[in-house]
Structure 1
Amino acid sequence: MNIIIINRWEDKFADYEKMIDHSENTVIYLTNNSGEKYLKNITSDHIHYLLSDLNDVDALVEILTMIKRKLGQIDRIIALSEYDIKTAGILRSQFNIRGMNEKVSRNFTNKFEMKHALQNTDLLFPKNTKDVKDIRSKLLEFPLVIKPCEGAASENVCIVKDQSSFEDIYSRLEDPSLYEFEEYVAGPIYHVDGLKNKNVMQFMCISRYINTCYEYEVSRKPLGSVLINDRDLYKRVEKMVLAALNALGMSIGVFHLEFILKNNDLVFLEVGARQGGGEIVPLIKKVFSIDLVECLLRCQMLECVDDVKEKRNFSSGGFLLFPEPLKEPVKVKKVVNFSYLETLNYAIVPKVGQILDGNGGYYFNAGRFMFSGDKASVKREMQVVLENYEVEYE
């Protein structure tokens, strides 16, 4: 086959060379400068096009037109990042390539269109609008959430408490048409990660967040989650997730869905057609022996995933992420060590003398911790790290 891979990751988070036979297929990489770094470590034959912006659809169309003219056809497009899913859908539709098309990919990447696609279902989700007149006429009550229709990790999200705060933030939006205004729903937030295989849930697990992505981004609070073992909740959530994915048009694929538990009701928040961020992928691999990145790639290759089976190695697990400080850049002076903890699988922390510049996100931050073991021990030792982890800075 002739396979196009859109890659913006510099590390081996997705080891394409291992998962796709480069000798049996013609593999074409489309990367930005960051994604190009991954290619420096592979030895297999491949074709490479470097773009300054992977979101430049016109440039991508021009390259695919040239590739199709040379090779005759394009069989698959692989795009594993949240930021490339919609682009890949546009390209598949335009060049008649099998896989998730433009309409479905927009349902999973545009939060306003996502909720519009759920309107004829029984699912609960926050009321939302793109029309500022609805806010000024009080069709939505405060507090409410202003969020980009597209994006991830709570970037550029604001929670506003009153009309004056809303008007102040709204006046500073560069392009208000790119935002939606959403009802604020209070309650603990959960994430669901898994693999949908046609009309069945091939694999699924539920985790409860410790703090929120918004607090990590805005208030610089630690972010984490811990796996939940609750059979009754699992049945209810599985039904909700399948209904949501079916309504959005996913036949087969990996998903990362978030919901709020409000007065014991499941309130759908949003969903991505890809693996979760943070330490979700390595945690699921450790606890369940399932690699969701590999599963996503196989789904985009349109391969059968009937053989993906859960093998539970531990009863529980979780992770913690510590953000960089609000005032940056800073130089690391001292880092607390937790090597004595029994359930701690790894701790990736900054080195003494390292500079943190505030652009680390979930990966190059002030500390990443992953735990696995029995439920009580995991919960206890995660709390030890939450209460005692500290980085001293210059």
Structure 2
Amino acid sequence: MPPTTEGVILVAHRIPAEVTPVGDWLADVADRVVLVTSSSAAAGYAGRFAEVIAVEDYSASTEVVDHLDRLCRSRRVTHLLHSTEDDILRLAQVRQRHGIAGLLEADALVFRDKYHMKVAAMAAVRTPEFLAPGTVDAAAEFAERVGWPVVVKPRLGFGSRGVTVVRDAPALARHLGDRNLDDVLVEAYIPGLVYHVDGFMQAGEVLLAVPSRYLNNCLSFADGEALGSVQLDDHDPLAVELTRFAERVVAALPATDATPFHLEVFRHEQTGELYFCEIGARIGGGHIYEMLTRATGRNPVEFWFRRQAGLSYDAASFTRGTERYGFLLVPPRTGTLEEIKDIPLPPAVQQSTTPQSLPQTYQAATASTDSVASFVVVGSSAADAETSVRACMQWSQDALRWSE
């Protein structure tokens, strides 16, 4: 079915249809949709749209952008849609080149480049001291001034890839020796727990905010430890404080159309003060998508796709119930998963994923969202949900049998 004369809705999206059924979400305009997707996901979308274009190396190659530019030159593209972090900036650049409405490059950079992001946020909220170092010596001088340890991260990274806590000058020199310093940020280390706020923003205002607390942290995978999260109770004073913090951050950043956000916040273990970590103009990773869907009864990714395509979907329909949700990601380790023992899952588990066939050999996780098993749980309160997440941690220790 060729696109109609109404104009093309161009979608760049690498996630499989069984996770994000975009064919269902955009069914009413399917004859206008051209999808550029990963080769592994293409079969699931076949026949659902006017055209499906498969790209082998979706995230790393220039082929996605080449296809988008070609389509924008040859057809009348009215909307350009995306949903993942790796597409935000490059699709903004495509919009800029071809005069397509939506998030453009300068604004997208603030939601992707952690240096520009922190410069914008520091006008509104407390932010750890940071530096984009031009040299290794400049990074070392910064660390000596703010105190060790420091955090080194890629400015354009995501999923905690390449993020390291560095504790002395020799280690810093080794770590930066092979890095492109144009993509490096060094910041003061804030000891304490990490929280996240997820929801929707529009025109500098927060439409929905769901504060949660990480169990362990986004670097736990480096030590082979699971990453969990639990939504906070509405009556928790910290939930109120985190929501207000999110409102100040969003107001300080470029205004967007109705767009999801994922904000991460440090809470200092001694002072209790909140510090900005980072914010993305996207749904958070892990199972935050599923947690938001269950908590609100509405699918946030469907809402975002339809809004980007100019279709109706009321943001006011996102209202929270009284239940609280949590998730757990169990990272792979270097070795072979030989067996999953027949141990019942905790009763609060709403959703779980484990390997379909065994044995399987794995390498250690390289990102916070890498997992060999995952769970979504429900509870009547944050404490209840946390108990169930920790029960899933114990289940994974008891049920997963590894060999080196």
TM-score greater than 0.5 by the shorter chain: yes
- The correspondence of residues 256-267 of structure 1 with structure 2, limited to 5 A, is 256-262=262-268, 263-267=271-275
- Pairing 1:30–2:6 present: no
Return 5+ residue gaps in structure 2 as ranges: 1-6
Instruction: Tell me the amino acid that sits aligned with residue 379 of structure 1.
Output: E
Instruction: Tell me the amino acid that sits aligned with residue 182 of structure 2.
Output: S
Match of residue 369 from structure 1: 375
Match of residue 338 from structure 1: 344
Match among 360, 371, 391 for residue 384 of structure 1: 391
CA distance in 2, matches of 1:177, 1:312: 42
Deviates more, 1:110-119 or 1:359-368: 359-368
CA distance in 2, matches of 1:45, 1:380: 44
Match of residue 47 from structure 1: 51
1:211 to partner: Cα distance: 0.5
Which deviations, in whole Å up to 9, do the C-alpha atoms of 1:186-232 show, x marking residues without a partner?
Answer: 1110011101133542211111000011112x111011011111443
- Pairing 1:102–2:105 present: yes
Q: What is the DSSP-based 3-state SS (H/G/I as helix, E as strand, rest coil) of the residue aligned with 2:160?
A: coil
Instruction: Tell me the amino acid that sits aligned with residue 401 of structure 2.
Output: E
- Pairing 1:281–2:297 present: no
Match of residue 278 from structure 2: 270
Match of residue 308 from structure 1: 316
Deviates more, 1:53-62 or 1:80-89: 53-62
Match of residue 123 from structure 1: 125
**C-alpha contact 2:25 2:302 (8 A) present in aligned 1:** yes
Match among 318, 321, 331 for residue 326 of structure 2: 318
CA distance in 2, matches of 1:64, 1:384: 46
Which deviations, in whole Å up to 9, do the C-alpha atoms of 1:149-182 show, x marking residues without a partner?
Answer: 1121211111111111111111232x22221111
Question: What is the percentage of aligned positions where both structures have the same residue?
Answer: 21
Match of residue 165 from structure 1: 171
- The correspondence of residues 168-179 of structure 1 with structure 2, limited to 5 A, is 168-173=174-179, 175-179=180-184
TM-score normalized with structure 1 length: 0.89
User: Structure 1's 69 and 82: CA in aligned 2 closer, same or farther, altered over 3 A?
Assistant: closer
Match of residue 3 from structure 2: none
1:3 to partner: Cα distance: 0.9
Which deviations, in whole Å up to 9, do the C-alpha atoms of 1:219-261 show, x marking residues without a partner?
Answer: 1101101111144333332232122223221333100110011
Instruction: Tell me the amino acid that sits aligned with residue 378 of structure 1.
Output: A
CA distance in 2, matches of 1:387, 1:24: 45
1:310 to partner: Cα distance: 3.4
Match of residue 393 from structure 1: 402
CA distance in 1, matches of 2:161, 2:370: 16
- The correspondence of residues 79-94 of structure 1 with structure 2, limited to 5 A, is 79-94=82-97
Deviates more, 1:289-298 or 1:15-24: 15-24
**C-alpha contact 2:205 2:251 (8 A) present in aligned 1:** no
User: Structure 1's 220 and 66: CA in aligned 2 closer, same or farther, altered over 3 A?
Assistant: same
User: Structure 1's 183 and 248: CA in aligned 2 closer, same or farther, altered over 3 A?
Assistant: same
Instruction: Tell me the amino acid that sits aligned with residue 157 of structure 2.
Output: G
1:365 to partner: Cα distance: 2.6
CA distance in 2, matches of 1:388, 1:35: 31
User: Structure 1's 171 and 155: CA in aligned 2 closer, same or farther, altered over 3 A?
Assistant: same
